[in-house]
Amino acid sequence: MGPPGSGKGTQVERLADRLGVTRMSTGDLFRSHQAKGTELGLLARSYMEKGEYVPDEVTIGMVMEWIGGTEQSAGFVLDGFPRTLAQAEALDNGVEDAGGIDRVIYIRVSRDELVRRLTGRLVCRGCQTPYHAVSAQPTIHGECDHCGGELYQREDDRPKVAGHRLEVYERETAPVIEYYRGSGNLEEIDGEGTTEEVERALTVAA
């Protein structure tokens, strides 16, 4: 867990690869539906472009269906879920019979650093590889190093929307941190080091 721009996506991918389990990002699920032009995808886009969260009932249903897949039977890592208390409670209830959530890791990053990261972030249209206009530039300007796809700035990373996303996070998601702190399985790490430094801290916490 962590606010937008905290580096969750990068760390989730590395952690899942190291553990040999699947990973899930709600953002990826929504964008997949958008690419397919589904009704859910169009609904999700209308919220995401404004920096708002997709309604709980839609998100919970989608995620729990994914968790129930056979590919997740050996375990999984979640990125961007749960974001609200209702989602956290639904997740706990949904995996209770399987032993519950093993660990919740919260990546802390200051607001100033989050804004800097979000407003400079670029994403490949083809493979969704993330870049940054300052700290993680592609070899060729505007072109993905991995697939040659076009790099673009997502609507929800533009300055005005990015600021609103952080406000929504504080209002909606910060209480979830307290919820998991009360459960005793929350670990907090500093997310303002290098990717490798954060990964090492994450490895210890996990």
The verdict on residue 2 lying in a domain is no
* Higher pLDDT among residues 28 and 145, named by residue: 145
Retrieve residue 86's tokens.
């209702």
Domain containing residue 96: 8-205
pLDDT tens sequence across 92-141: 999 988 888 999 999 999 988 998 888 888 999 999 898 988 888 999 99
According to the model, what pLDDT value does residue 51 have?
A: 74
Active site annotation includes 8: yes
Our answer to whether residue 83 is catalytic in this structure is: yes
* Mean pLDDT score across all residues of the chain: 88
Token digits for 171?
Answer: 């209002």
* Range 54-60 average pLDDT: 85
pLDDT tens digit sequence for 140-171 = 999 999 999 999 988 878 888 888 888 888 88
Lowest mean per-residue pLDDT among 47-51, 69-73, 81-85, 191-195: 47-51
What's the total number of domains in the chain?
A: 1
Residue 187 has pLDDT above 80, yes or no: yes
Q: Please identify which of the residues 14, 23, 83, 117 carries the catalytic annotation.
A: 83
Whether residue 189 is predicted with pLDDT greater than 90 in this model: the reply is yes
Torsion of CA 80, 82, 86, 91, to 10 degrees: 140
Annotate the chain with three-state secondary structure.
CCCCCCCHHHHHHHHHHHHCCEEEEHHHHHHHHHHHCCHHHHHHHHHHCCCCCCCHHHHHHHHHHHHCCHHHCCCEEEECCCCCHHHHHHHHHHHHHHCCCCCEEEEECCHHHHHHHHHHEEEECCCCCEEECCCECCCECCECCCCCCEEECCHHHCHHHHHHHHHHHHHHCHHHHHHHHHHCCEEEEECCCCHHHHHHHHHHHC
Does 164 fall in a domain? yes
CATH code at position 198 = 3.40.50.300
- Which one is catalytic: 14, 31, 117, 121? 121
Residue 89 has pLDDT above 90, yes or no: yes
Task: Specify if 1 maps to a domain.
Answer: no
Q: Model confidence at 9, in pLDDT bands (50, 70, 90)?
A: confident
Catalytic option among 165, 171, 181, 200 = 165
In which residue are the tokens 């606010």 written? 3
From 8, 23, 31, 117, the catalytic residue: 8
Q: For residue 74, what are the CA distances in angstroms to 16, 25, 61, 96?
A: 11, 18, 21, 15
Q: How far is CA 22 from the centre of its chain?
A: 14
Structure confidence at residue 182 as a pLDDT band (50, 70, 90) = very high
Token digits for 130? 């993330």
Is position 3 within any domain?
no
CA-to-CA distance for 87 and 130, rounded, in angstroms? 26
pLDDT at position 13 over 80: yes
Residue 158 has what pLDDT? 84
Give the mean pLDDT of 80-90: 91
Give the pTM: 0.75
Catalytic residue among 50, 111, 116, 154: 154
Our answer to whether residue 154 is catalytic in this structure is yes
How far apart CA 46 and CA 48 sit, in angstroms, is 6
pLDDT one-digit tens code per residue, 62-84:
888 889 889 998 899 999 899 89
In the chain, the percentage of residues whose pLDDT exceeds 90 is: 43
Task: Say what the pLDDT of residue 49 is.
Answer: 80
The verdict on residue 83 lying in a domain is yes
User: Is the residue at 76 inside a domain?
Assistant: yes
Distance between CA 129 and CA 127 in Å, rounded? 6
